[in-house]
Structures are given as structure tokens and as C-alpha cells.
Chain A
Amino acid sequence: MALAGNPNSGKTTLFNAMTGSRQHVGNYPGVTVEKKEGRFKHKDTELNVVDLPGTYSLTAYSIEEVVARNFIINDKPDVVIHVVDASNLERNLYLGIQLIELGVPVVFAFNMSDVARARGIHFDLDMLASLLGAPIVPTVGQKNKGIDELVDTAVRVARSGTKPKPSDIHYGDDIEKAIEAIRRRIDGQSGFTDDIVARWTAIKLLENDAEVAKLIQDPDIHKAVEAEQARIEKILGDSAEMIIADRRYGLISGACQKAVRSTCETRHTNSDSIDEIVIHRVWGLPIFLGLMYLVFWLTFTVGGPPMDWIEGFFGWLGGKVAGWWPTGSDSILQSLLVDGLIGGVGGVIVFLPNILLLFLAIAFLEDSGYMARAAFMMDRLMHKIGLHGKSFIPMLTGFGCSIPGIMATRTLENRRDRLTTMLVLPLMSCGARLPIYALIIPAFFPAAWHATMLWMIYVIGIALAIVSAKILRSTLFKGESVPFVMELPPYRLPTLKGVLIHMWERGGLYLKKAGTIILGVSVILWALTSYPKTETVDTTLSAEEQQFIQLSNTIAGRIGHAMEPLIKPMGFDWRIGTAMIGAFAAKEVFVAQLGIVYSVGEADDESEPLRDQLKANYSPLVGFCIMLFMLISAPCMATIAVTKRESNSWRWALFQLGGLTLMAYVLTLIVYQTGSLLGIGI
């Protein structure tokens, strides 16, 4: 079975109610649209459900619509359940009519029937069902009401294969004549043995559907379509597309007049009063900023203790595993397990509480309907850089961590918008870069400047993101900015189950996918920074100095040396180069690596000896350049991996890596050279 329906009709809620946790999220081949599938057993019948993307129509306007209808046409589900928001019947049935047109067995789930009843809407379900030619089951997704009956009905319809008759949808004589003329031409073609598909194709051609038009090779058919369109426009005074849409609404409102009684229209009154405050010209923005602050506060303060537990656990585990070997042993296996595997995996899992909390907050804001309002308020701003309101949420998330931010770009329908947002997102300075700034700023700048410097770094990131987005939108991703059309769902209190499932869908992906890749690369980085071993180290030296000699001889150390001529113009030496390699694994590793090259043992962002060393070796200008470079350059490997997955191509991931690194290089170079020339901060 397949679930189809408008966004916000409660489709996901019904899907969750049917399948519980037995669901699987993947992507449709070739596109970045999520495919949710689930299996469950209903009275001895094994059922497989696919949750199609939420759409308003089955045109070719967005990928979601194309994906939904291709699934129905090609995968031929035994039955399609159309989830209808019964409190907004007419608009929802617009999709229903198109499903009937596709000639598949359909069952209507009149969801939100509680809301409809509260609004004083009464349905004559029997009459509506006979008008639509398909059974109707009222449901309340949130309360699990009507689900059993819905599945019963769906199974019955699937077994008997009863389909509504598409020919019952009559578009009026002029249009019907055109449909018939085109259908007859198509019928002769190979691959169109099915009358229903041929009729559907004819309608879509009249509607100027680009995807369907691509499938038709015969130029005669295209000519015939154009002729029919011209004829219709002449007779009826409007484009065929509009007339067809108009007829569909006519059919729906005809049916509704017969079978629906509404006492009054009150939907949204509560929502409207909330909106009066929430999107108010003056109050809207402070409320929005306050909520965002709350989200980050929640993420980082509530996330703090569990992070400490996880860190503690991995520390304990590392110690335990290390204990299997006698002290002083330098077994490769021990080092691989403790430093490579446990250290690497621990480094990723440590961020899990943050990420889950962030997603929890986002899921809450989304399910409650607030996110659509945030997009409304940010549209003005984002419009200026060629994106629209919806891009704002992922960008904001990026300040916490780029990974969930990039994953959140899924809400953007347009691929150009999505890629632009994804590519510039790492410029939002993420939480992992904070330790670097916290180390460098106090080392080089007087206390009075600290806050300003930090603020400046963040602002530079934002400014660069704006400029890059603008550049990308006017070069690679040129094209008219996509029209901003979005429904504002009424405010609802989210259910705990819904929010938790949403959170886990995204958080689990982070853990699974990013975890496997990070794991692999941490092992490689571990090897780079530990091999080859220097055999003869002067044992009279201090442990730190021994460590230093070891490191400069490893591959990473050698790469650092080899990089020196390249990074010299930015004011960096090989030590910074070595640390930069570590930063590719995770930005905060930079600090620890510098600690090792400067032989100060375990270093963190509070490390005074390391700060003194830095001060002795570099000028404030170099300090600033380090921060600038770390802000812009090579996003960490997890970000690259996620960009690859979300964009479905290595090309964009590598473009992001190369582009940002190049930008970092050029800008840092200019800053350093101009700074030295003018004698600023040296």
C-alpha cells in the first residue's frame, strides 16, 4: 500500500500508527527525496506500506510530485490510501481526483475527523463514497482511531482490485474531445496498451506536463496537443491547464455541495490569534530570536551532562582496554584500539546528545507549526541573497553543527536552493570551532578585545556565507529564484510519539552513516599521526619532547613539513600545517595537535603554557589568520560525507571541500600579506 496526501494532512501520523517503529528511511533512487517504508501484520496479512512524499497535486512541479506519481505508475501499489484533511476537504480532494485519474484502487482516509466535527462539518460519507467511487474511512491519526478499519478496508480493496472509474471525471465536452483526440493517437504507440494510462497521459499533455512530454517522442503528437490547446483557448478563453484545474474544483465542489454540510467556517481562528502576536511586525522577530536562543541553550546546557557521561565512559573504556596490555607496552593493536577506534568513535558519539536535543527542539517547532512562521519572517532577509525563508532553518542549525544543518536542507524543494544552502552552510561557524578561537584569542589579544574578536569571526563567517550564496545563485545555480509558496499549518500541540520519531529518524542517521565514515577516517588519521615510529628517541628527554620528535617524523609531521612552502605565505609553519591535518578529522582536534607539536602534553583551550608558546612564536596577525583559515577552510570530513550523501554525488562534496579551502587560502593570504605590508599586528 502507499500513503498519499497533502503535507500536514496527518500522513506521517497514520503511517507511524500503522507501522510503529518498524520503518525504514531511505532515498528514492537518484533523487534526494526521503522514502519511508514500513512493514506490519494485520490479521494474518503481511503489509508493506510506503509513505509517499506530501504533495498537493500530481503535476511535475516539484520532485516530490514526480516521485509520488512515478511510484504509483511504476511500482503499482495494490492500493493507495489517500490521507485527507477532512477539515479542508475541497483542497485535499484536488489530489484525490488525480489519484482516481491514475486508475489505481483508492481508499480515502478522512483524517482529522475530530477537527472537522468540532468545526461543525458534517459528511454524508455514503453519498461522498459513491460520488468518488471509492470507500471512505474516517480516522483520527493522533488518537489511533479508525486505523484498524482503514487497514481492513484497504486490504479488502487491494484483494478485490476495485478501482474508481477515471472516466467518471468528466471535463466538459470541449476538453473531453481534445483528450479523446490525443488519446487515440497515443493508443497506437507502443507501451500504451492501457486505456487509463493513455487517457491520463493525454490529460497531462494538455496540462503542459514537462515530464510526461519528455516520454513522448512522436512529434505529431506534440503538434496535435498544441493544436488542441490552441483550440481550447480560443473557445473557452483560457489555457487548457487552467480549465482542467477549474473543472476539477467544479467536480469537487459539486460533490461537496451534495454531501457536506458545514455550519460555519472557524478553522484557524485560534491560530490566527496566535499569529497576530507571533508574526507581528515588531514582536515577531524578538520572539523568534528568543525561541532560537532557547533551542541552543537547551542543546548545549541540557546536553552537557550526558556528554560528560559519554566522554567519561569512553575514557573508562579506553583505560580498561589499555589495561589488557602491560604498562609501557607499545603494542600497535593497543594503540589502534584505544587511540584510533575508541577515541574516534567516542569523538563522534560525544556529540550525540547535542544532536538529538537539537533535533528534538526542531521536531517540536516543526510539528507545532512554528517553523512555517519562522520561514515567513526570514523570507525578507533571505530573499536578498537569492534564497528564501525555508533556507534559514538549516543555516541556523549550522551554528550548532554543520551535519544536522545539511540534513535539515531536506525541507527545501528546489535542488538549486538546496545545494546552495548546503555548500555555504559550513561557513556558519560550528560549535567544534569554538575551542580554537578560545585558545587563540586570549593568547594574542588584550582582554578588552576578546568578545569583539569572537563576534567578528562569526560575523565574517555569516558575511562570507551571504556573499558565496549570492555568487552561487548567480553562476552555478543560476535561475529565477523559486517562487515562495508554502502552507501555514494551523498550530497544533505535537504528540510526544511524533516528535520522538522525528528526532530519531535524523539522529539515528547521524549515528549510523556519519559514524561509519568517521570511524574509517579516524583510523587513517591515527595511523598518519603515529607512523612511522622513530626507533631511537633520546630517553633523557622529557616525555613531551620525545612525543614531539615522534610526531615530526610521522607521515602527518612530514606532510606538515612538505606543506610549509605552500602555507608560508599565510604566515603558517609546519607545526600549524600538521595541526591542520588533524583538524580535518574534527575541528577541535586542531588544539590537541598543536599541544603535541609544542610539546606541552595534553592541551585544551584553557592551556596557558600552549598560549605562551604561541605568543612567543607567532604574531597576533598569524593568530588571526589561523582563526580565519579554520573558520573558512575544509569542513570536517563528517560534513563532507554528509554533503556527499545528501547531494547524492561526490562532485558537490569535493566542490565544497575544494571551494572552501581555496577561499580560505586566498583570503588568509591576502589578510596576512596586507597585514605584514602595512605592519598591522606583527
Chain B
Amino acid sequence: MNPALWMPLGMVPTGRSVLLRRVQTGHGLSSRLAAMGLLPGMRVQVCHNDRNGPVILGINGSRVMLGRGTANKLSVEDTSETGI
């Protein structure tokens, strides 16, 4: 675990698979995100990220969209070597 490699989720390009490392949102939202499967340590797939507008994530087979502001409050680590 090397925090130097972490980046905001909003910066991850489409197609990458990343590990969620830290969730920095208010209490209510972080438990909501947890309920949808977004919890530190979980692997998520970035299905759609246009660098503008919401981000679509693949979590365990379901698709969840997050507003860009929220997405940038999640720190992730890119662990996929190749694009897909």
C-alpha cells in the first residue's frame, strides 16, 4: 500500500480496473457508497469516464454512476497493467 500511487477516481481513464483505497466523504454518503459495494479494498472497473460529467463504475457486476465531485473524493490505485 503506497499512498503515493493513489489518485482521485475521476482521473482514471475508461477501461481501467482499480483498487479503492480511501473514501473521503461525509458519513451518510460513505455508508451509502458502502451499501452499493464501494468500500476501501474493493476492486472497481471504470466503465465510462469522459473527464466531464458523471463516471460509471462496474462493481461486482453492477453498474453505478457517481457524480464527478463524489468520484474525486475516492482515492484509488491503478493496478491493471494493460488497458482492459
Contacts and interface: CB of A to CB of B under 8 A. Distances in A.
A59 interface: yes
Specify which of B28, B29, B52, B69 lies most central, judged by the most chain A CB atoms within 10 Å of its CB. Answer: B28
Given A267-B61, A484-B65, A241 B35 contact: no
A241 B63 CA distance: 24
Interface stretch (B4-12, B36-44, B75-83): B36-44
Contacts of B37: 90-91, 94, 249
Contacts of B52: 380
B54 A376 contact: yes
Interface string B38-59: 0111100001101011101011
A372 B54 CA distance: 12
A90 B37 CA distance: 8
Specify which of B25, B48, B69 lies most central, judged by the most chain A CB atoms within 10 Å of its CB. Answer: B48
Given A485-B64, A486-B65, A56 B32 contact: yes
B19 interface: no
A207 B35 CA distance: 13
B54 A57 contact: no
A623 to B, nearest CB: 41
A487 interface: yes
Contacts of B25: 483
Contacts of A380: 52-54
Specify which of A379, A380, A485, A487 lies most central, judged by the most chain B CB atoms within 10 Å of its CB. Answer: A485
Given A59-B32, A95-B35, A487-B36, A376 B47 contact: no
Given A57-B35, A88-B60, A383 B67 contact: yes
A379 B32 CA distance: 20
A484 B54 contact: yes
Contacts of A238: 40
B10 to A, nearest CB: 13
Given A91-B36, A379-B53, A483 B67 contact: yes
A371 to B, nearest CB: 12
A673 B82 CA distance: 67
14 contacts: A60-B28, A62-B32, A90-B37, A246-B34, A246-B41, A267-B61, A267-B62, A268-B62, A279-B48, A279-B56, A389-B54, A485-B65, A487-B63, A487-B65
Given A249-B39, A376-B54, A484-B54, 16 more contacts: A56-B35, A57-B31, A57-B35, A60-B28, A61-B32, A88-B60, A91-B62, A241-B30, A245-B31, A245-B35, A271-B63, A383-B67, A485-B33, A487-B65, A488-B65, A489-B63
B36 A483 contact: no
Contacts of A268: 58, 61-63
A249 B59 CA distance: 13
Contacts of A241: 27, 30-31
Contacts of A488: 56, 63-65
Contacts of B48: 275, 279
A90 B38 CA distance: 12
Interface in A45-99: 56-57, 59-62, 87-88, 90-91, 94-95
B23 interface: yes
Contacts of B59: 91
Given A281-B50, A383-B67, A389-B54, A245 B28 contact: no
A517 interface: no
Interface of B: 23, 25, 27-37, 39-42, 47-48, 50, 52-54, 56, 58-67, 69-70
A44 interface: no
Contact of B60 (A91, A210, A246): A91
Contacts of B29: 61, 483, 485
Given A59-B28, A241-B27, A379-B54, A94 B61 contact: no
A242 B62 contact: no
Interface residues of A, number: 46
A265 interface: yes
A606 interface: no
A388 interface: yes
A505 interface: no
Interface of A: 56-57, 59-62, 87-88, 90-91, 94-95, 207-208, 210, 238, 241-242, 245-246, 249, 265, 267-268, 271-272, 275, 279, 281, 372, 376-377, 379-380, 383, 388-389, 481, 483-490
Nearest to B40: A242
Specify which of B25, B60, B70 lies most central, judged by the most chain A CB atoms within 10 Å of its CB. Answer: B60
A88 B60 CA distance: 7
Specify which of A91, A94, A238, A267 lies most central, judged by the most chain B CB atoms within 10 Å of its CB. Answer: A91
Contacts of B33: 485
Contacts of A281: 50
Specify which of A241, A245, A281 lies most central, judged by the most chain B CB atoms within 10 Å of its CB. Answer: A245
A352 B33 CA distance: 41
A118 to B, nearest CB: 13
A485 B67 contact: yes
Contacts of B60: 88, 90-91
Given A241-B30, A389-B54, A94 B35 contact: yes
Given A389-B54, A483-B69, A208 B61 contact: no
A91 B38 CA distance: 10
A265 B17 CA distance: 15
Contacts of B40: 238, 242, 246
Nearest to B64: A487
B27 A208 contact: yes
A23 to B, nearest CB: 28
B70 A485 contact: yes
Nearest to B61: A267
Contacts of B35: 56-57, 59, 91, 94-95, 245
Contact of B47 (A59, A87, A245, A272): A272
Contact of A486 (B53, B61, B64): B64
Specify which of A57, A88, A379, A488 lies most central, judged by the most chain B CB atoms within 10 Å of its CB. Answer: A488
Contact of B66 (A59, A95, A279, A484): A484
A91 B65 CA distance: 15
Contacts of A272: 47
B34 A487 contact: no
